[in-house]
Amino acid sequence: MKGFHISIVAFTIVLATGGFVVAEGATRFVSTAGDDAANDCAAAANPCLTLTQAVSVSVDSDSIKIAAGTYTEAIVLIGGGNLSIEGSYDETFTTQSEDAPTVLQSKGTRPITALWHGPAGVLSIGHVTIKKSSTPGGGGGILLEASGSLAVGLALDRVRVLGNKSDTGGAVQLVNVSEATLDVSVKNSLFERNRALDCGGIATFSRDAPVPHIVISDTSFVKNKATDGSGGAICVRSQGSVTTDTDQIFERVTFTSNSASGEGGAVNARAEGGHLNIDIVNSVLLKNKAFQGGAIAATAFFDFSAESVIRIDSLNNTFCSNKTREDGNAVSLWGGQGVVEITMNSTNDIFAGSKRGADVALNQNDSPATHVTLARDFSIVENPVLLLGGATVSDGGNVLSTDPLLVKVGKDVHLTNASPAIDAGTCTGAPTVDFEGNPRPNGAGCDIGADEH
């Protein structure tokens, strides 16, 4: 399948160029007014000109500080260890400002390639804009590939990834092809108008390897697009027989107007062997569209007798005005042949604003080993559930079929004063703030949906 062919070839080629490994942490400085000649980039008063130079002199646990400006380089990090890259500094490297960003932009290649085989460590990137870059293969802005048995992390904070392009993972691609433990954290970031054939924004592929532990929080995905595949904003894909349980968590994430020609306008979870445990909490999924599963599509099927399991825990989310051409305006759960389980637990969720058809579609293959189930309670559901081939839904006693009375359908998912969602949810397990940080509960109880009124 697409995405798994990536860069074993590239890996062997770039290995020869060396990279950063072992030693103590220093701070390196880079500025468009700097100079690389005989410079180890270690003095703020005498910064290097290029990020390439700073990377080439960096060792484990170094930090690179980059002044505002545009850098048209493609850096390749090989090895592992800890490295921090922080941008948007002023000329004296004392303050960071969103108004004067550090922009990484390289046409025809990607700005950041990280090929990790050890030692263990985290690549941290903050206050950087990666834009209008493109590459064939995968990962238009960032590619991280883990190989070898090690713990590898990628941490993005206040990163804007805008208008990048590739074949898979228009913005970022994460690949685990080994026993590596991949830990990914993305917060306070924006992914906008990235596109790829498959997996328009972030692509994660695990083959015969544990699925990455992912936490994406306080982040927006806007108008990302999979033009000939699935997962407009994010793909999480597993293949093979490794069934390690890791969590993929989306918390206070806004998905707006992402699209896919296939499944999952915002999120595509696919297991051909392996376990995906997706928690989506306090999030807004607005105006995403796809052929199948306008916002979220989960597909699990049989691969060489491997066990395929997808569990989605959906809590305090608002799905609004998502659209499908086939089944499931908001969500599609599809289980094929083999040892398969797809379960979605939906609590305190709003499903609203769809034009026609079911908001959630469940399709279960007739094979007796397949189970596709939806369990929901304390939810507002405007449209019916579509059940195909023996899939089942169980409602608790608190599922309302009514208009949630949002401020503006398709635009503003806040609750109006008259909304039946107010104080109608359960506080059991509910997050203590809402999608915008307001305290929950407010008033007599916890509200249904992402907004606490």
For 93, the 3-state DSSP assignment is coil
Residue reference for tokens 């389980």 = 341
Using DSSP bridges, classify how beta strands 412-415 and 406-408 pair: parallel, antiparallel or unpaired: antiparallel
Least distance to Ca ion from the beta carbon of 218, Å?
14
Least distance to Ca ion from the beta carbon of 433, Å?
9
Nearer to Ca ion, 149 or 438 (CB): 438
- CA pair distance 449, 411, nearest whole angstrom: 15
Query: Partners of 278 in the beta sheet?
Result: 248, 312
Nearer to Ca ion, 327 or 451 (CB): 451
Nearer to Ca ion, 179 or 423 (CB): 423
Provide the greatest CA pair distance for the chain: 72
User: Which helix (H) or strand (E) segment is 13 a member of?
Assistant: helix 8-15
Least distance to Ca ion from the beta carbon of 449, Å?
10
Tokens for 427, please give them.
């506080």
Nearer to Ca ion, 313 or 423 (CB): 423
Least distance to Ca ion from the beta carbon of 423, Å?
4
Residue reference for tokens 């590459």 = 135
Tokens for 4, please give them.
């798994």
Count of residues in the chain:
453
Say if residues 40 and 60 touch (Cβ distance below 8 Å). Answer: no
Least distance to Ca ion from the beta carbon of 445, Å?
5
Least distance to Ca ion from the beta carbon of 252, Å?
11
- CA pair distance 103, 160, nearest whole angstrom: 9
Radius of gyration of the chain (CA): 22
Least distance to Ca ion from the beta carbon of 415, Å?
8
Geometric angle at alpha carbon 256, from 250 and 257, rounded to 5°? 135
Nearer to Ca ion, 227 or 442 (CB): 442
Give all strands (DSSP E) within 83-222, no chain letters.
83-89, 102-104, 112-116, 121-131, 142-146, 151-162, 165-168, 172-176, 181-187, 190-192, 195-198, 202-207, 213-222
Nearer to Ca ion, 410 or 443 (CB): 443
Q: Look up residue 307 and give its DSSP letter.
A: -
Nearer to Ca ion, 305 or 428 (CB): 428
Distance of CA 371 to the CA centre of its chain: 26
Nearer to Ca ion, 157 or 423 (CB): 423
Least distance to Ca ion from the beta carbon of 437, Å?
8
* Phi-psi region at 284: left, alpha or beta (left = phi > 0; alpha = psi -120 to 50): beta
- CA pair distance 224, 237, nearest whole angstrom: 18
Least distance to Ca ion from the beta carbon of 429, Å?
15
Least distance to Ca ion from the beta carbon of 61, Å?
41
Nearer to Ca ion, 132 or 453 (CB): 453
Nearer to Ca ion, 185 or 442 (CB): 442
Nearer to Ca ion, 132 or 414 (CB): 414
Residues 6 or more apart in contact with residue 45 via CB below 8 angstroms: none
Residues engaged in binding Ca ion (CB under 5 A): 423, 434, 438, 441-443, 447, 451-452
Q: How far is CA 113 from CA 76, 140, 178, 190, in A?
A: 5, 10, 18, 20
Q: Order of strands, edge to edge, in the sheet holding 289-292?
A: 165-168, 195-198, 225-226, 259-263, 289-292, 323-324
Least distance to Ca ion from the beta carbon of 424, Å?
9
Residue closest to Ca ion when measured from CB atoms: 438
